[in-house]
Amino acid sequence: MPVQYSFVTKWQLKAPLHDVWNAIYNSLEWPQWWRGVVSVIEIEKNNEAGINGIRNYTWKSVLPYKLNFNMKLVEKKPLQSLKGIAFGELDGSGEWLFTQKDSIVFVQYNWNVITTKKWMNTFSFLLKPLFRINHNIVMRWGGKCLAKKLETTLLANK
């Protein structure tokens, strides 16, 4: 039986919105700067509007396993939001939200997925708290690595 997970990540960076947006939108470059992102492979290119492309993501954190899934970018509002549909070892949706106040960019990532790997579902009663910790670690790495990439200050990383 699939197990559902919902996560909300929030970052605050002192950086230009355009720079933060581009770093997140250009996910093919994530393995170069985001610890935990093993690979991002383009399966289908985005259309002229910059959406409907499919990318394969492989992630690794502190637990001894990797997660691999595809994401199809289904919505893009420049400098405001990105929304994708996940399928593979995780099924669900992810949405990046961007706002700026003065020189601070607020980033929120909403991740709502179910696991499809049999072992993850079978042992979820034991491992669910560890999966949550693992996710949070990878996202904290992302905030720190993004600040380093942009040569800026990370003000909040939750």
pLDDT digits (tens, 9 = 90+) for 87-101: 999 999 999 999 999
In angstroms, the Cα distances linking 93 to 13, 19, 25, 30, 155 are 24, 24, 16, 19, 27
- C-alpha distances in Å from residue 26, one per residue of 18, 31, 51: 12, 11, 12
DSSP assignment, residue 56? E
Residue 123, phi then psi, degrees to nearest 5: -105, 15
Residue 149 clears pLDDT 90, i.e. is over it: yes
For residue 61, pLDDT over 90 is answered with yes
What CATH number has the domain bearing residue 73?
Answer: 3.30.530.20
Task: Give the model confidence (pLDDT) of 4-14 as tens digits.
Answer: 999 999 999 99
Identify the pLDDT of residue 94: 98
Return the bridge partners of 52, or none: none
Distance CA 131, CA 79 (A): 30
Is the distance from CB of 85 to CB of 99 less than 8 angstroms? Answer: no
Q: What is the domain range of residue 21?
A: 4-157
Mean pLDDT of 53-71: 95
Please give the average per-residue pLDDT across 94-114, as a whole number.
97
CA 91, 95, 99 angle in degrees (round to 5)?
170
pLDDT band at 1 (very low <50, low <70, confident <90, very high): confident
Neighbours of 66 (CB within 10 A): 12
Residue 132 pLDDT exceeds 90: yes
> Rounded to two decimals, what is the model's pTM?
0.95
Q: How far apart are CA 6 and CA 136, in angstroms?
A: 11
Inter-CA distances, 148 with 9, 57, 79, 100, Å:
18, 22, 20, 19
What is the spatial distance between Cα 47 and Cα 138, in angstroms, rounded to a whole number?
29
Burial class (CB in 10 A: 0-12, 13-18, 19+), 73: buried
Number of domains into which the chain is organized: 1
Question: Does 59 score more than 90 pLDDT?
Answer: yes
| pLDDT tier for residue 2 given thresholds of 50, 70 and 90 | confident
